[in-house]
Structure 1
Amino acid sequence: MPQENYPADKFEAARFEQERSRLRGVAYRLLGSLPEAEDAVQEAWLRLSRADTSSVDNLSAWLTTVTSRVCLDMLRSRKSRREDAFLDGAPEPAVTAEEAVERETILADSVGLAMLVVLRTLSPAERIAFVLHDLFDLPFDQIAPIVERTPDAARQLASRARRRVRGGDSLDAGQVAQKSVVDAFLTASRTGDLAGLMAVLDPDVVVRSDVLGGGGQVRELRGAEKVANFYNGLAQTARTALIDGVIGAVVAPLGRLTRVLDFRVENGRIVEIFVAGDPDRLGAVELAMV
Structure 2
Amino acid sequence: MTERDFAFLRDLLHRRSGLSLGTDKHYLVDSRLGMLCRRLGIEDIPALVERLRGEPHGELESAVVDAMTTNETLFFRDRTPFDLFRNVILPEKLAANAASRSLRIWCAAVSSGQEAYSLAMILHEHAQSLAGWRVDLLGTDISAEVLEKARQGLYTQFEVQRGLPIQMLLRHFRQEGDKWRVDEHIRGMVELRRHNLLDPNAHFGQFDVIFCRNVLIYFDVPTKARVMDALAQRLAPNGVFVLGAAETVIGISTSLVPDETHRGLYRDAGARAVSSAPAGGGFVGLPLPPRGA
Q: TM (normalized to structure 1)?
A: 0.29
If asked which structure has higher relative contact order (CA below 8 Å, sep 6+), I would say 2
Q: Which entry has the higher C-alpha Rg, 1 or 2?
A: 1
- Flag the structure with higher helix content: 1
